């Protein structure tokens, strides 16, 4: 489910517990995820050097250069536990690490997927080769976003959710960013003034940073790596609030469908 903040919070939670530990063993469920389970023999007994993130993918970087990429799909989440803890509901992968630590991957909808890449190869895979800049890095600049928007006549929300433009912005944070910037989600990207794109750029970064800061907001499926709920008191301004009054102006938040996804916005604040 996770959008960038939830994946980043997962990374920050797992990294200090796993870095330096060796992957000793693993178990896969009999049910497949989105793609077949990879062969992991190349990293058996190898220590985890770093846990990184690119877009909504977690990247387990091992000492021998091999990289395990992991996408959480719509409903994936990790639990940390001990070696012989009983299986959790919808547990599909278990990784056992040196020191008796066990990482369980649970995913009711099974849209998640993992893959193992030899040294240097992950960036060339189609999943990664076309990805745009990270929204919180400097390559994602105001000028860059203005440039990409000027070239697109499609709705701005669609452009924000296009991973070739910028990664990590999913349905929730696209809606929230557009609300903060006062931009109607269906407005043609190329018909938004440069000043307003600049405001949107700031809104995207602020919304994502705040969500990371509160621990990754999420609707219902995301769980913290220690098993406690990741559903924070973080309140969305518009997402999921159709029919409720806008906190800013009191008009009723509206829901429309774009590209088959629900879009929430305030018809008075967003133009």
**Interface with DNA (CB under 7 A), residue from 149, 172, 207, 211:** 172
**Nearest distance, CB of residue 18 and DNA, angstroms:** 22
Interface size with DNA, residues (CB under 7 A): 41
Rounded-to-10 torsion of CA 119, 125, 128, 132: 120
**Interface with DNA (CB under 7 A), residue from 21, 50, 110, 247:** 110
> Looking at 92-100, 116-124, 142-150, 256-264, which segment touches DNA (CB under 7 A)?
256-264
Alpha helices (H) in the chain, listed in sequence order: 4-18, 126-129, 142-150, 156-160, 171-181, 194-213
**From the candidates 11, 53, 56, 241, which is the catalytic residue?**
56
Q: Which among 209, 113, 224, 226 is positioned nearest to 168, based on CA atoms?
A: 209
Question: What is the secondary structure of 254-268 as a DSSP string?
Answer: EEEEETTEEEEE-TT
* 179, 187 Cβ separation under 8 angstroms: no
From residue 142, alpha-carbon distances to 148, 154, 180, 202, 244 in Å are: 10, 19, 16, 8, 32
Residue closer to DNA by CB (options 97, 236) is: 236
89 is catalytic: no
Q: How far apart are CA 158 and CA 94, in angstroms?
A: 36
Site for DNA in 88-107 (CB under 7 A): 89-90
221 binds DNA (CB under 7 A): yes
50 binds DNA (CB under 7 A): no
Site for DNA in 57-76 (CB under 7 A): 71, 73-75
Residues that bind DNA (CB under 7 A): 1-3, 6, 31-32, 34, 55-56, 71, 73-75, 89-90, 108-111, 126-127, 151-154, 158, 161, 163, 170-172, 218-222, 230, 259-262
């Amino acid at each position: 489910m996770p959008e960038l903040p939830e994946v980043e919070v997962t990374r920050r939670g797992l990294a200090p517990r796993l870095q330096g530990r060796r992957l000793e063993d693993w178990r896969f469920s009999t049910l497949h995820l989105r793609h077949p389970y990879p062969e992991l023999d190349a990293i058996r007994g190898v220590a985890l050097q770093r846990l990184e993130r690119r877009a909504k993918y977690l990247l387990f970087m091992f000492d021998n250069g091999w990289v395990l990429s992991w996408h959480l799909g719509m409903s994936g989440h990790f639990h940390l536990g001990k070696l012989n803890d009983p299986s959790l509901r919808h547990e599909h992968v278990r990784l056992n690490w040196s020191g008796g630590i066990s990482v369980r991957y649970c995913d009711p909808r099974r849209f998640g997927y993992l893959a193992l890449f030899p040294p240097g190869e992950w960036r060339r895979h189609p999943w990664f080769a076309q990805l745009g800049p990270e929204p919180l890095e400097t390559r994602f600049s105001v000028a860059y976003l203005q440039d990409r928007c000027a070239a697109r006549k499609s709705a701005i929300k669609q452009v924000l959710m296009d991973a070739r433009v910028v990664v990590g912005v999913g349905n929730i944070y696209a809606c929230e960013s557009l609300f903060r910037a006062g931009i109607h989600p269906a407005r043609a990207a190329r018909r938004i003034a440069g000043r307003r794109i600049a405001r949107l750029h700031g809104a995207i970064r602020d919304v994502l940073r705040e969500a990371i800061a509160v621990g990754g907001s999420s609707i219902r499926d995301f769980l913290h790596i220690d098993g406690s709920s990741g559903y924070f008191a973080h309140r969305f301004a518009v997402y999921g609030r159709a029919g409720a009054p806008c906190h800013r102006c009191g008009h009723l938040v509206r829901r429309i469908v774009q590209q088959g996804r629900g879009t929430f916005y305030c018809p008075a604040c967003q133009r």
